[in-house]
Amino acid sequence: MSADIVIIGGGIIGLTVAHKLLRLGAKVSILERGYSGREASWAGGGILLPLLPWDYPNSVTQLTQFSNQLLPELTETLKQETGIDPEYRVSGMLVFPVIGDQEVRFVGAKEWCAGNAFPMKEIYINEIFPKLKLVGCTDNSALWLPSVAQVRSPRLLQALKRSVELSGGSIIEHTEVKGWRMSQNRVKSVITDQGDYSGANYIVAAGAWSREILDKYALKIDIYPVRGQMLLFKVKTGLLDKIVLQGDFYLIPRKDGYILAGSSMENTKFDKSVTADVRKKLLERAHKFIPVLSEKTLVGHWAGLRPGSPENIPIISRHPIFDNLYLSSGHHRYGVTMAPSSAHILSNMVMNNSQPFDVAPYQWPT
């Protein structure tokens, strides 16, 4: 089978770039090993900001801030077009200091927020939110980031998938890419367990598996799996309406009374199983913050494999040798957030359009 552009991987990165390229007039096929939108992207919490954004390099800020400009319109368009609501919502985020560590964790916060026109207020939560009963916070002081938004990742994926199909894109599931046929400095076709697929251009968007798929053509890319486990609680609506963060632990409230608690960062290679140990730790931390979040209200526990990368900087680039091969992967902890901007700049590369900012930091290392 032949398409203008063959995308390998139907996660948030593959689906958003397909969505964008279809709008630019391309003919797109996605090859997906399992069901699309069921790996890391499905497992994610959907917070649309790096947890402590001042701790990250400018190349991460650039992508996350640009995505945040695109997300309100993208999610609204998807909702109108497909009838599936990705539940984009500005819920704000309260950031609590880690005991004995306040100065270290918040160093650079004020400067970063001022430099990026990002609203932030130092508050005592009982003054600003007297009804919010959070037991786990240390001395009641917190940073309040009112503009932080969230999406419900599984619904965003369903909406994207539907939109890609409605726009004429083809999503070919249960088709695993196994290898490459090259001819001089071009890809001729990909080898799958369902036969060969060919196109004018190829995009690898296979998340944590991207390096393995590229095999010897990966050159020096450093993308590796990082397991993250998450818990899901169901409580009455209105118990919590803001994202709460302390250190690496967060609670994300959905509108209908679900609360997510996450997440672990584990090096377990490609093992995606959940563990009793992490479940216990997350449960204890959730319970400490909001005592009603106990075993009784726990309704889910899952894990996903993030496409880890040094400093969370993804590679969004043409291959240094093969002219028609591209990669968008390594979004690590923030792939849901960075997906729209990554799709925007990758489709500009494929279509030879100009870029909104310097994309050199995302180049394929050789």
Ligand X SMILES: Cc1cc2nc3c(=O)[nH]c(=O)nc-3n(C[C@H](O)[C@H](O)[C@H](O)COP(=O)(O)OP(=O)(O)OC[C@H]3O[C@@H](n4cnc5c(N)ncnc54)[C@H](O)[C@@H]3O)c2cc1C
Q: Applying CB under 6 A, which residues contact ligand X?
A: 8-14, 31-34, 36, 39-41, 43-47, 176-177, 205-209, 213, 228, 230, 262-263, 304, 306-307, 329, 331-337
Q: How far is the CB of 108 from ligand X (least distance, A)?
A: 21
- Give 169 or 307: the residue with its C-beta nearer to ligand X: 307
**In contact, 7 and 29? CB cutoff 8 Å:** yes
| 43/125 with CB nearer ligand X | 43
Nearer to ligand X, 138 or 194 (CB): 194
For the CB of residue 140, give the shortest distance to ligand X in the complex, in Å: 25
- Beta carbon nearer to ligand X, 287 or 332: 332
Nearer to ligand X, 43 or 187 (CB): 43
CB 361 within 8 A of CB 313: yes
Rounded to a whole number of angstroms, the minimum distance from the CB of residue 130 to ligand X is 28
CB 314 within 8 A of CB 342: yes
Q: Please provide the size of the chain in residues.
A: 366
* Residue whose structure tokens are 């786990």: 136
Q: Closer CB to ligand X, residue 213 or residue 221?
A: 213
Q: Which residue has the tokens 């394929």?
A: 364
Query: Strand, coil or helix: what is 156?
Result: helix
The kind and range of the H/E element at 5 are: strand 2-8
User: What minimum distance in Å lies between the beta carbon of 103 and ligand X?
Assistant: 26
Tell me the one-letter amino acid at 345.
I
> Which structure tokens are listed for 8?
């390998």
d(CA 183, CA 225): 30
Alpha helices in 26-135 (DSSP H): 40-43, 58-82, 102-106, 109-115, 125-128
Nearest distance from C-beta of residue 145 to ligand X, angstroms: 14
Q: Find the shortest distance in angstroms from Cβ 252 to ligand X.
A: 7
What Å distances lie between residue 58 and 82, 103, 247, 359, CA to CA? 35, 21, 21, 12
Please give the Cα distance from 309 to 109 (Å, whole number): 23
End-to-end CA gap in the chain: 31
Of 102 and 298, which CB lies nearer to ligand X in the complex structure? 298
Close Cβ partners of 342 (under 8 Å, ≥ 6 residues apart): 13, 16, 17, 63, 314, 316, 328, 331
- By CB atoms closer than 10 A (0-12, 13-18, 19+), residue 156 is buried
Q: Minimum Å distance from CB 67 to ligand X?
A: 9
CB 126 to ligand X: min, Å = 27
| Minimum CB distance to ligand X smaller for 53 or for 304 | 304
What are 196's strand-pairing partners?
Answer: 191
72 vs 291 by CB, closer to ligand X? 72
Minimal distance in Å, beta carbon 265 to ligand X?
Answer: 9
